[in-house]
Amino acid sequence: DAGVTQSPTHLIKTRGQQVTLRCSPKSGHDTVSWYQQALGQGPQFIFQYYEEEERQRGNFPDRFSGHQFPNYSSELNVNALLLGDSALYLCASSPGQGRFLYFGPGTRLTVL
Amino acid sequence: AQRVTQPEKLLSVFKGAPVELKCNYSYSGSPELFWYVQYSRQRLQLLLRHISRESIKGFTADLNKGETSFHLKKPFAQEEDSAMYYCALRETSGSRLTFGEGTQLTVNP
């Protein structure tokens, strides 16, 4: 089991563009959470998906949206990119909205 | 709103010395506290959680509700302990984690 996988590893975009990040959860996990980690900061919760629905959301604007597929994989979409969206985006999976999160390696997004 | 504070961004100790990474939290309910660790070029991983009251890699952490603290301790630091450590809080309802800003621990030979 490769654990939680994320793609792409790195991404460079320009302001105003849109981006899609992908995550495959650990085998046996059905819940996916997304976190944003700015440089020098701790991860910040964006939202969580379970049973293909957004269950919890952090303090992020509507430009941040997501989706979960029947195979439990998930996408994070960010529209109208701002320079401040540059960060490491972490995906974490868990079984049944459980408390034990397994993190992926992250996608490094740079907005120019 | 909940908040986790790690007052030290950087902490440097010598091998064999005791180490304590501080974590304070604010939350109106009954939280669950965790320590996560990120070694160089590795992903973020769970180190320990307060409800298990276990020792992992020689590290322990006790939840002090009176002082709203969850400090991480190890009596004898090892070079392989060098890493970024994050304290995190889970609310009573839901599974979202609130993280502190992290402490970079360096254990010198």
pLDDT on residue B54: 81
Residue B52 Cα distances to A2, A20, A98, B11, B49, angstroms: 26, 37, 15, 26, 6
pLDDT on residue B56: 85
* B79 φ, ψ (degrees, to nearest 5): -60, -35
What are the residue ranges in chain A where pLDDT is below 70? Answer: none
Q: In angstroms, rounded to a whole number, what is the distance separating the alpha carbons of residues A62 and B14?
A: 47
Cβ–Cβ below 8 Å for B43 and A106: yes
What are the residue ranges in chain B where pLDDT is below 70? Answer: none
User: Among residues 65-84 of chain B, which lie with CB inside 8 Å of chain A?
Assistant: none
| Residue of B96, B99, B101, B103 for testing the chain A interface, max A β-carbons within 10 Å | B96
Q: In angstroms, rounded to a whole number, what is the distance separating the alpha carbons of residues B41 and B84?
A: 11
Residue in A42, A48, A58 nearest the CB of B100: A42
* A8 φ, ψ (degrees, to nearest 5): -75, 180
pLDDT on residue B49: 87
Q: Are strands A107-111 and A10-13 parallel, antiparallel or unpaired?
A: parallel
* Any A CB within 8 A of B86 CB: yes
Q: Which single residue is written with the structure tokens 């408390």?
A: A99
pLDDT on residue B106: 98
Nearest-neighbour CA in chain B from A111: distance (Å): 22
Show which residues on chain A lie within 8 Å of chain B, measured between beta carbons. 3-4, 31, 33, 35, 40-45, 48, 55-56, 58, 90, 94, 97-106
Cβ–Cβ below 8 Å for A42 and B32: no
* Any A CB within 8 A of B4 CB: yes
pLDDT on residue A17: 98
pLDDT on residue A96: 77
| Residue of A23, A26, A45, A46 for testing the chain B interface, max B β-carbons within 10 Å | A45
Residue in B9, B43, B96 nearest the CB of A45: B96
Cβ contact A90:A71 at 8 Å: no
Q: In angstroms, rounded to a whole number, what is the distance separating the alpha carbons of residues A83 and A65?
A: 18
Cβ–Cβ below 8 Å for B99 and A103: no
* B93 φ, ψ (degrees, to nearest 5): -110, 140
For residue B6, the chain A residues in CB contact (below 8 A) are 42
